[in-house]
């Protein structure tokens, strides 16, 4: 089995910060901490991304009535070389820190590791955070936005934002009950402007593994949400599930399609980035659980593990997906 189950891991607090495009989207009402431009009151986009992490973590600690002295360990990651945004932020955090890279799957990867630390290392409070920024990610993986390069309709738009969560053993409204670690899968997709479809095989494999390990189907969940498969990737995953005769019943969705209005915002095929699944999780998904609209939600965070150099050498894009299950625990 590649699914770890937890009995005593709970969400103690969470928070996020986003940019202007995200605030203007369908989930805008959930984003109380938003900036009016992508510089986030800083002088560079790299500093802006770190500012987003700072605001998200500060908000999370404040909601939990915690300080950095209460945090035993922190996990974090982003999309920039050497996880620069996370590491530069961590130097001021003054907390034992592990940086993680799973591309856009880093949200579930960080929360899953945090859950392991709480359950098996008996750590009282463990912080997990991720971030992304449209300008830093485009510069990293494609072309700087300033170049004005024409983008394909299959392109996804990187979410500008950061999300954070503190997990602990103290019983709370939301529990983390399972973490499925995915395999790296390569179906020979090689288009960096169509990463949504490239990640579908990994998402599907992790979903099937989770169902098998937990002896569950879609019927056991109120919602199954992928990270950032785009309109095309979401449709492709839906088809794969239907071919296995699963009854979806509107239980499948994608964070990249939830955070933006795909038809009316300039985001092409949907949202993406480390922050995409994280900010949707700590805002919308947690609200659905806390408000008792839903009982159990499965997040499958998806990541395309590409580098521009290897892509230029005509190799394909390996992808990975990790799943984490959240459940409402009634008092």
The model's pLDDT over 68-97, given as tens digits with 9 standing for 90+, comes to: 999 999 999 999 999 999 999 999 999 999
Are 56 and 33 in contact by the 8 Å Cβ rule? The answer is yes
Average pLDDT over residues 59-69: 97
| pLDDT value for 147 | 66
C-alpha 79/C-alpha 132 separation (Å) is 6
Q: Are residues 153 and 206 in the same domain?
A: no
- Tell me the per-residue pLDDT of 291-306, one tens digit each, with 9 for 90 and over: 999 999 999 999 999 8
- The CATH number covering residue 82 comes to 3.40.47.40
Q: Are residues 223 and 262 in the same domain?
A: yes
- Tell me the per-residue pLDDT of 139-167, one tens digit each, with 9 for 90 and over: 777 766 766 677 777 888 999 999 999 99
Q: Is the pLDDT of residue 118 over 70?
A: yes
Position 315 confidence tier, pLDDT thresholds 50, 70, 90: very high
Query: Facing residues of 326 across strands?
Result: 176, 297
Query: Facing residues of 86 across strands?
Result: none
Tokens 């530069």, located at residue: 88
- Tell me the per-residue pLDDT of 257-280, one tens digit each, with 9 for 90 and over: 999 999 999 899 999 999 999 999
| pLDDT value for 39 | 96
Q: Are residues 218 and 113 in the same domain?
A: no
Residue 207's nearest CA partner among 156, 242, 163 is 242
Q: Are residues 30 and 54 in the same domain?
A: yes
Position 56 confidence tier, pLDDT thresholds 50, 70, 90: very high
Average pLDDT over residues 34-42: 97
| pLDDT value for 249 | 87
* Last residue of one domain, picked from the residues 147, 168, 189: 168
C-alpha 127/C-alpha 168 separation (Å) is 9
Residue 38's nearest CA partner among 27, 58, 52, 54 is 52
* Last residue of one domain, picked from the residues 142, 168, 194: 168
| Count of beta carbons in the 10 Å neighbourhood of residue 34 | 20
Q: Does pTM surpass 0.75?
A: yes
Q: Are residues 8 and 131 in the same domain?
A: yes
Q: Are residues 210 and 123 in the same domain?
A: no
| pLDDT value for 138 | 82
Q: Are residues 209 and 107 in the same domain?
A: no
Instruction: Supply the range of the domain harboring residue 205.
Output: 176-328
Q: Are residues 191 and 98 in the same domain?
A: no
Average pLDDT over residues 114-139: 95
- How many residues does this entry show for the chain? 331
Q: Are residues 191 and 297 in the same domain?
A: yes
Average pLDDT over residues 214-242: 96
Average pLDDT over residues 239-245: 94
Q: Are residues 242 and 136 in the same domain?
A: no
What is the tally of structural domains in the chain? 2
Rg (CA), the chain: 18
Q: Are residues 191 and 234 in the same domain?
A: yes
* Last residue of one domain, picked from the residues 168, 198, 228: 168
How far from 63 is each of 67, 68, 92, CA to CA, in Å? 10, 13, 20
Q: What is the mean pLDDT of the chain?
A: 94
Share of the chain above pLDDT 70, in %: 97
Tokens 């590791």, located at residue: 113
| pLDDT value for 143 | 65
| pLDDT value for 98 | 98
Q: Are residues 225 and 241 in the same domain?
A: yes
Residue 153's nearest CA partner among 294, 26, 263 is 263
């Amino acid at each position: 089995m590649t699914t770890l189950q937890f009995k005593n891991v709970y969400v103690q607090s969470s928070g996020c910060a986003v940019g202007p495009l995200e605030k203007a989207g369908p989930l805008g009402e959930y984003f109380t901490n938003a900036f009016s431009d992508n510089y986030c009151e800083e002088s560079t986009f790299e500093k802006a991304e770190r500012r987003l992490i700072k605001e998200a973590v500060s908000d999370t600690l404040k909601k939990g009535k915690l300080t950095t002295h209460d945090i035993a360990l922190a996990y974090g990651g982003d999309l920039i070389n050497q996880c620069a945004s996370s590491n530069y932020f961590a130097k001021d955090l003054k907390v034992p820190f592990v940086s993680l890279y799973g591309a856009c799957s880093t949200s579930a990867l960080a929360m899953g590791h945090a859950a392991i630390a709480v359950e098996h290392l008996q750590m009282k409070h463990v912080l997990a955070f991720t971030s992304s920024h449209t300008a830093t990610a485009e510069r990293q993986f494609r072309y700087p936005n300033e170049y004005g390069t024409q983008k394909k309709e299959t392109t996804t738009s990187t979410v500008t934002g950061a999300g954070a969560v503190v997990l602990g053993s103290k019983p709370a409204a939301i529990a983390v009950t399972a973490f499925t670690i995915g395999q790296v899968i390569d179906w020979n997709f090689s288009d960096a402007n169509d990463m949504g479809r490239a990640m579908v095989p990994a998402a599907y494999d992790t979903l099937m593994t989770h169902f098998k390990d937990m002896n569950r189907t879609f019927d056991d969940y109120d919602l199954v949400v992928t990270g950032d498969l785009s309109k095309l990737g979401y449709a492709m995953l839906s088809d794969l599930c239907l071919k296995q005769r699963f009854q979806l019943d509107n239980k499948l969705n994608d964070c990249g399609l939830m955070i933006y209005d795909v038809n009316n915002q300039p985001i092409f095929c949907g949202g993406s980035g480390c922050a995409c699944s994280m900010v949707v999780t700590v805002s919308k998904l947690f609200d659905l659980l806390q408000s008792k609209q839903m009982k159990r939600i499965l997040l499958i965070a998806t990541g395309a593990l590409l580098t521009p150099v290897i892509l230029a050498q005509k190799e394909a894009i390996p992808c990975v997906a990790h799943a984490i299950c959240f459940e409402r625990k009634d008092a």
